[in-house]
Amino acid sequence: MLALIQRVTEAAVTVDGAVVGQIGPGLLALVGVEPGDGEAQLQKIAKRLLGYRIFEDDAGKMNRSLLDIGGELLLVSQFTLAADTQSGMRPSFSTAAPPAEAERQFDRLVAICREAHPKRVETGQFRAHMKVSLINDGPVTFLLRS
């Protein structure tokens, strides 16, 4: 499982012109599910999403987590993250989980994060053509793997 995380001051997802998920300060996580991802990978990535210390403390150091600051989380499924881009001029999606498996695992990740995080956890819409807008704070962007 992969998560491209961005520290944001705000982020939103729209589908067909309607906002389906929106947050204020926190993290936008684009999530790619790979074949064989299971509960262990879900728990690990959830723990990292909520606990990864990329928010500044009083000294200006990245030393606080999403949980520490009470930030919000926007999870967006993105199968293209799991693409094989090693060769050629076109990505291969054979390294991404099949849609039904990916949706099941993504929904489970959302449930884990909502259970562990008392603040707002929003999502995009699985299998929809989404427009994601964000203001990256920093910019701060990291790729996490479970």
Spot the catalytic one: 6, 14, 79, 106. Answer: 79
Cα separation, 10 vs 40, in Å, equals 30
Cα separation, 50 vs 31, in Å, equals 14
User: Is 80 tagged catalytic?
Assistant: yes
The pairing of strands 18-23 and 26-32 is: unpaired
What does the angle CA 107 – CA 129 – CA 92 come to, to the nearest 5 degrees? 80
User: Is 78 tagged catalytic?
Assistant: yes
User: Is 123 tagged catalytic?
Assistant: no
Spot the catalytic one: 41, 78, 105, 123. Answer: 78
Q: Please identify every residue annotated as catalytic.
A: 78-80
